[in-house]
Amino acid sequence: MNNTTVTGLVATTPKHVVTTDGVQITSFRLAVASDKHATNWYTVTMFNQLAINAAISISKSDRIVVTGDLRIRDWDNGERAGTSVEIEATALGHDLAYGSSVFTKTMLVEANA
Amino acid sequence: MNNTTVTGLVATTPKHVVTTDGVQITSFRLAVASDKHATNWYTVTMFNQLAINAAISISKSDRIVVTGDLRIRDWDNGERAGTSVEIEATALGHDLAYGSSVFTKTMLVEANA
Amino acid sequence: MNNTTVTGLVATTPKHVVTTDGVQITSFRLAVASDKHATNWYTVTMFNQLAINAAISISKSDRIVVTGDLRIRDWDNGERAGTSVEIEATALGHDLAYGSSVFTKTMLVEANA
Amino acid sequence: MNNTTVTGLVATTPKHVVTTDGVQITSFRLAVASDKHATNWYTVTMFNQLAINAAISISKSDRIVVTGDLRIRDWDNGERAGTSVEIEATALGHDLAYGSSVFTKTMLVEANA
């Protein structure tokens, strides 16, 4: 069990890709204020309809609330190695503590997406 | 510690009030699908800038993600008694799993609010 | 999604029952300090091996940490009506912030339980 | 906001130190099963009475439930660099889904600790 919820600032322009087998993926970096005046950095990733809507809706410097599964991965590409901390989002939205939003429900067009 | 995060359907038109000493309060009922095909009902309450933005942005039947503090209160008004389950929201937004949103950041007008 | 984690004080002696089809169920009331000096009251319920171990291990007035699914249910028995707030625990333990514990792993005897 | 709750397997013998100004600190590595058959690795750290009780109570290979604040830190010691993912525990206990425990409340000796 690794559910987590964070609120933070979108730090990069969301990157939206469609895989060759049609999977929609959106990801961006998120800066989350931690206690003790430090910042936690996450990569937030999402799929399918959430990926499509986030790519349309989210811009760099937006404030969001996101909930999902936390993943910690060690990586090594031969030249460099590191650890990535990722949230696979199950839900996310603009944080109304920082602004207002106009919402348009998605018509069910997943079959055409 | 009673933090909780839920995603659900706004079930009532948000009610926005300003107290005589100027506190902004918005509240609505939220239906959250639980496991076993049951529904959890919450009263979601928020204050200040979040209350103002939610009153502008949230409509009945919107899908949202909300995080905050859970409060369980027994009440008794002489005629009837019951238990209310409330989330005092610290952050909330439209759930982009169900639609797209256009976000406008709040100018810092808290001093005038 | 209704996951929640709380820390609190066990307020009743745990009740342990076995249903006619062999399901182990343990439950007790839990008092959780909320903000603003109020208390949230939960019924904590658990099943199977967790129910067996909790019945052996947990006493009234113990301090515990519990994580699980939140359920809010309206009930009406004809004479009275009310709302119950329940956590179906997926994991729980004595809170080491308040004491020490000696742990004995369960042998895999579920087939005989 | 970076609260998180995880359940997992203690992967190292807890290390307990007392700083020169008397702060009790305990830490260990925790392996948490993630979805998709992967494992998240955390460093779990705790202070004061929780550190003392955890040092007495927790052994390598124990199953625990822990809740606390997540911290993600990049580090660089000149020779190597990396990212650490840490939970500063506010509560933790042996997970009764995997065993039974005998609990002894701490007498209030914090003033002498």
Residues A10-43: pLDDT tens digits? 999 999 999 999 999 999 999 999 877 789 999 9
- Residues of chain D with Cβ-Cβ distance to B91 below 8 Å are 1
* B91 in reach of chain D (CB within 8 A): yes
* B34 in reach of chain D (CB within 8 A): no
Q: Vertex B59, ends A68 and A111: CA angle to 5°?
A: 55
Q: How many residue contacts between A and C have a Cβ separation below 8 Å?
A: 9
pLDDT of residue D5: 94
pLDDT of residue A76: 82
For the cut 80, the answer to whether the pLDDT of residue A78 exceeds it is yes
Among the partner-chain residues C5, C53, C102, the one whose CB lies closest to the CB of D96 is C53
* A15 in reach of chain D (CB within 8 A): no
- Averaged pLDDT for residues C73-78: 84
- Residues of chain B with Cβ-Cβ distance to A66 below 8 Å are 65
Collect the ranges in chain D with pLDDT lower than 70: 1, 108-113
Per-chain mean pLDDT for chain B: 91
Give the Cα separation of D111 and D113 in Å (integer): 6
Contact A98 B90 (CB under 8 A): no
pLDDT of residue D3: 85
Tokens of B79: 């005629």
pLDDT band of residue A67 (cuts 50, 70, 90) is very high
Residue of chain B whose alpha carbon sits nearest to that of D2: B3
Q: Are the C-beta atoms of residues B93 and B63 closer than 8 Å to each other?
A: no
Condensed to tens digits (0 to 9), the pLDDT of residues A37-47 reads 789 999 999 99
From D12, D55, D66, D30, select the one nearest C100 (Cα to Cα): D55
* C67 in reach of chain D (CB within 8 A): yes
Q: Model-level pTM? A: 0.89
| Residue A24: CA count within 13 A, CB half-sphere | 17
- Averaged pLDDT for residues B16-25: 96
Contact C98 D92 (CB under 8 A): no
Tokens of A17: 């890709």
pLDDT band of residue B113 (cuts 50, 70, 90) is very low
Give the Cα separation of A29 and A37 in Å (integer): 19
Q: Which chains neighbour D (Cβ–Cβ under 8 Å, 3 or more pairs)? A: A, B, C
CB-based contacts of A57: which residues, under 8 Å, 6+ apart? A94, B96, B100, B101, B102, B103
State ipTM.
0.89
How many residues are present in chain B?
A: 113
Q: Are the C-beta atoms of residues A24 and A47 closer than 8 Å to each other?
A: yes
* C12 in reach of chain D (CB within 8 A): no
* A84 in reach of chain D (CB within 8 A): yes
* D2 in reach of chain A (CB within 8 A): yes
Contact B94 A98 (CB under 8 A): no
Radius of gyration of chain C, Cα coordinates, nearest whole angstrom: 15
- Tell me the DSSP string of chain C: --EEEEEEEE-SPPEEEE-TT--EEEEEEEEEE-GGG-EEEEEEEEEHHHHHHHHHH--TT-EEEEEEEEEEEEEE-SS-EEEEEEEEEEEEEE-TTSEEEEEEEPPS-GGG-
For the cut 50, the answer to whether the pLDDT of residue C112 exceeds it is no
Task: Name the residue with tokens 């030249």.
Answer: A79
CA B89 vs. chain centroid, Å, equals: 6
